[in-house]
Amino acid sequence: MRRICLFAGYDKENKIQDYVVYLIKELSKISEVYFMGNGRFPPDELFKIAPYTQMFYSQRMPLKDFGCWQYLIAKLGWEKLEKYDELILCNDSVYGPLYNLEDFFRSMERKGYDFWSATSDYESNFHLHSYCMVFTQDVVKNAQFHKFWRSVPFAYDADNCERELTPLLTEQGFIGNSYIRTFKQENVLHNPVQMLQEHKAPFVKVKSFLPENEYTAGTGIELRHQLRTRTDYDTALIQKHINMAHLPQTVGQKIARFAGL
């Protein structure tokens, strides 16, 4: 199985955080990784991921995740992308993987989906979340899939793109699904503890640990407990990110205490 992964990264301090290095390292074990950073990452930061990437790019533009992936698609070209069995889109909005990635991918491949993701959203129209989304070669070769990527505005919101992409591919006759699917009118990302307890979630969203997140406020200690008892993931990566990234140290320490780290 040949896979290629297009990874979208952003950090307002232009640093590649340790949890991102770990995520890219694990992705490199199952795929060829290409990194696009929205910003001006200095060489010493980019060198952190050099052993695990085929190529990395850094450019300050009004890019969001779909814009970064659009940039990489244009850079690499469809002729190259169509040679792989699977195309993976991933970003740095999650901590993980919490479990072995190869096992996770094999479990989904056995189900025979044309495109899939870790989680999905039923709050509005059903759509797959894009923080880890996978497409088979048949989808990658599809003309409407190409057209979608040509038409994505650079600064387009990820939610809008997700809501467009899933029904577009379904209309083309492709079958998509998610690893975790509750069949309830909800966004499962609002229940990270349940995702770990009941579904063996492969990732947990970074924003799950932030106190201003109205959906996960007050769950930090239990979430920490679930990570430590159910996974081998190094929670020190989360603590370091919360303490250092984007936040004054005192605020970061308060958030880390809130999250039970």
Q: How many CA atoms lie within 13 A of 146 on its CB side?
A: 11
- pLDDT digits over 96-110, tens only? 999 999 999 999 999
Q: What percent of the chain has pLDDT over 70?
A: 84
Domains of the chain: 3-183 (3.90.550.10)
Lowest mean pLDDT among 70-74, 86-90, 248-252: 248-252
Tell me which amino acid residue 234 is: D
Confidence grade of residue 187 (pLDDT, cut at 50, 70, 90): low
Residue 239 has pLDDT above 80, yes or no: yes
pLDDT in tens, 108-147: 999 999 999 999 987 667 889 999 999 999 999 999 999 9
| Residue 251 scores a pLDDT above 70 | no
pLDDT of residue 242: 86
pLDDT at 207: 85
Inter-residue contact 88 to 133 (CB < 8 Å): yes
Residues in Cβ contact with 31 at an 8 Å cutoff, skipping those fewer than 6 apart: 3, 4, 5, 86, 88
Residue 50 burial (CB count, 10 A): 11
Query: DSSP characters for 22-38?
Result: HHHHHHHTTSEEEEEEE
Output the six-digit token pair for 41.
Answer: 């990452």
- The pLDDT of residue 195 is 84
